[in-house]
Amino acid sequence: DIVMTQSPDSLAVSLGERATINCKSSQSVLHTSNKKNYLSWYQQKPGQPPKLLISWASTRESGVPDRFSGSGSGTDFTLTISSLQAEDVAVYSCQQYYSYPQTFGQGTKVEIK
Amino acid sequence: EVQLVESGGGLVQPGGSLRLSCAASGFTFSNYWMSWVRQAPGKGLEWLANIKEDGSDKNYMDSVKGRFTISRDNAKTSLYLQMNSLRAEDTAVYYCARVDRSSGDSGYRSLDLWGQGTLVTVSS
């Protein structure tokens, strides 16, 4: 199984400041045939189901604010919130869908400092 | 409205069985792979299984293989998870989720629509 490890487990950021979350996979999730990284990011607010933010490591879903961006390739990925807003308080999780089982990271809790 | 609604959760004794249902609406259910994901209290997300549009292909996480069975009824636009030999560690909120098909038809895609979840508690 591919193990997904996120860092940090939690972080507190001031409103308007940048938040950076890292996700590392135990093996590459880059598909050589199509050059796509099989990596997504989800946001989960308290009491709610997860919401898909980013697919293919860097493709934002429709309606997701552009302050959210994804980057990285192979085994190392980053989710960046460029200017943290109050409504961004949530747990963020990465997921690989390169191989079964399609594993998630443990989640990173983002709070306001 | 495009939505997924899970049901069937509850309290069950260790070794017992439970069948979860997920009712889909607002989209052509038969065109999508579907998945089950769970989240134990205070823990991260755990992918469990997925199923192809016509039910001909199913994939499972090892720890539930042989105990859980994913199935679907496209006529009823419903997804199911039959859970047998339940253990305390199966206690979780169980979500059904739709597999994104905007980049083509495959089980290897993100999960673009989630239900609200149903709580399963395994305890004596």
pLDDT band at B52 (very low <50, low <70, confident <90, very high): very high
Is residue B62 pLDDT above 90, yes or no?
yes
Structure confidence at residue B118 (pLDDT): 98
Q: State how far the Cα of B46 lies from the Cα of A102, in Å rounded to an integer.
A: 8
Mean pLDDT in residue range A14-28: 98
How distant is the Cα of A57 from the closest Cα of chain B, in angstroms? 10
Res B107 pLDDT > 90: no
Place of tokens 């293989």: B65
Looking at residues A31-43, what average pLDDT do you find? 96
Residue type, B119: L
How far, in whole angstroms, is CA B104 from its chain's centroid? 21
pLDDT (average), residues B31-56: 97
Strand pairing partners for B35? B50, B97
Chain A residues in contact with chain B using a Cβ-Cβ cutoff of 8 Å: 1, 38, 40, 42, 44, 48-52, 55-56, 61, 93, 95, 97-98, 100-107
pLDDT of the residue at B104: 79
8 A C-beta contact, residue B20 and residue B81: yes
Q: How far apart (Å, rounded) are the C-alpha atoms in residues B70 and B24?
A: 15
Distance from CA of B95 to the nearest CA of A (A): 8
Distance, in angstroms, between B109 CA and closest chain A CA?
6
Residue to substitute from B50, B93, B111, B113, interface A, most A β-carbons within 10 A: B111
pLDDT tier, B106 (very low <50, low <70, confident <90, very high otherwise): confident
- Residue B42 burial by Cβ neighbours in a 10 Å radius (0-12, 13-18, 19+): exposed
Confidence of residue B102 (pLDDT cuts 50, 70, 90): confident
Q: What is the mean pLDDT of residues B27-55?
A: 97
Mind listing the pLDDT tens digit for each residue in B108-124? 999 999 999 999 999 99
Mean pLDDT value across residues B38-44: 97
H-assigned helices in chain B: none
Confidence of residue B105 (pLDDT cuts 50, 70, 90): confident
Those residues whose C-beta lies under 8 Å from the C-beta of residue B49, and which sit 6 or more positions away, are B35, B36, B58, B59, B60, B61, B64, B68, B70, B81
Tens digits of per-residue pLDDT, A47-84? 999 999 999 999 999 999 999 999 999 999 999 999 99
Q: Provide the pLDDT confidence category of residue A85 given band limits of 50, 70 and 90.
A: very high
Region B44-70 average pLDDT:
97
Residue B31 has pLDDT above 90, yes or no: yes
Reported as a pLDDT band with limits 50, 70 and 90, residue A88 is: very high
> Which residues have C-beta within 8 Å of that of residue B10, sequence separation ≥ 6?
B18, B119, B120, B121
Q: Which pairing describes strands B68-73 and B78-83: parallel, antiparallel, or unpaired?
A: antiparallel
Residues of chain A with C-beta less than 8 angstroms from the C-beta of B95 = 49-50
Do the Cβ atoms of A89 and B28 come closer than 8 Å?
no
CB burial readout A100-112, b (16+ within 10 A) else e: bbbbbbbbbebee
